[in-house]
């Protein structure tokens, strides 16, 4: 398989935090990641605000993705938060990771060489049980993505997330996409170390 690139950089890890200040910036920067996967015959799984699903599809169309054909063949799946992160009206990290693994295995069985995932993260502002554990999930999902060898981009709107939350997010992603540039993230803390640090803090 070809290397996965984003914003002109080859990805060495599979879990990327993408920080944007506008939706226009987001789709411009992620254009190559999305187009490259579709052109290579890979599966695309996108998770977004269900109220913005049509807008998301429209933006994919404007970048040249034949959304109708790709959806019909199963190459493209655009899921609302209620079908993924907040399935059954709550967030559960084990359920979400099981869903990701199932998506990858099913896609491979269907003949897709790889699955490129992206998820908009504003679902954490929903008043649903379990959303307070999303940072723990972001840390734990690293091992799953590394084992599956599938790339996933977590999209964060800098207009919505506070500075402390952004710093917590950066601690859980080995790569960060900021100002249109992918960088190895110096703030990243491996899951085992992060859990150990959290345990120490809890103990005082």
Q: What is the CATH number of the domain that holds 194?
A: 3.40.50.300
Higher pLDDT, 11 or 146: 146
Q: Which residues constitute the domain of residue 85? A: 5-203
Local confidence band at 158 (pLDDT 50, 70, 90 cut-offs): very high
Percent of the chain surpassing pLDDT 90: 84
> Whole-angstrom Cα distance, residue 102 to residue 116?
14
Can you name the residues that pair with 118 across neighbouring β-strands? 46, 153
Mean pLDDT across 10-37: 92
> Whole-angstrom Cα distance, residue 169 to residue 163?
10
166-200 pLDDT, tens per residue? 999 999 999 999 998 888 999 999 988 876 554 34
State residue 200's pLDDT score. 40
92-136 pLDDT, tens per residue? 999 999 999 999 999 999 999 999 999 999 999 999 999 999 999
For 178, phi then psi, to 5°, come to -135, 135
Give CA 44 to chain center in angstroms.
Answer: 11
DSSP code of residue 51: G
Give CA 39 to chain center in angstroms.
Answer: 20
Distant-in-sequence, close-in-space partners of 42: CB < 8 Å, separation ≥ 6: 75, 112, 113, 114, 115, 116
Please say if the pLDDT value at position 204 is more than 50. no
State residue 55's pLDDT score. 97
Please say if the pLDDT value at position 150 is more than 80. yes
| Residue 158 exposure: Cα atoms within 13 Å on the Cβ side | 14
Count of domains in the chain? 1
Q: What is the mean pLDDT of the chain?
A: 91
69 touches 37 (CB < 8 A): no
91 touches 134 (CB < 8 A): yes
């Amino acid at each position: 398989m070809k290397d996965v690139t984003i914003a002109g950089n080859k990805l060495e890890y599979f879990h990327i935090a993408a920080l944007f200040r506008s939706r226009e910036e987001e789709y411009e920067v992620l254009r190559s990641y999305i187009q490259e996967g579709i052109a290579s015959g890979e599966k695309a799984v996108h998770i977004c605000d269900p109220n913005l699903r049509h807008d998301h599809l429209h933006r994919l169309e404007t970048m040249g993705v034949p959304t109708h054909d790709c959806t019909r063949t199963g190459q493209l799946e655009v899921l609302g938060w209620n079908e993924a992160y907040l399935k059954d009206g709550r967030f559960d990290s084990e359920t979400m990771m099981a869903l990701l693994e199932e998506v990858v295995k099913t896609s491979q069985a269907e003949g897709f060489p790889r699955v490129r995932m992206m998820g908009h993260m504003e679902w954490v502002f929903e008043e649903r049980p379990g959303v307070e554990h999303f940072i723990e999930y972001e840390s734990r999902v690293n091992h799953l993505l590394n084992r599956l060898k599938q790339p996933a981009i977590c999209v964060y709107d800098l207009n919505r997330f506070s500075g402390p939350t952004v710093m917590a997010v950066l601690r859980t992603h080995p790569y960060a996409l900021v100002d249109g540039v992918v960088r190895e993230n110096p703030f990243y803390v491996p899951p085992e170390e992060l859990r150990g640090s959290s345990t120490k803090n809890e103990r005082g």
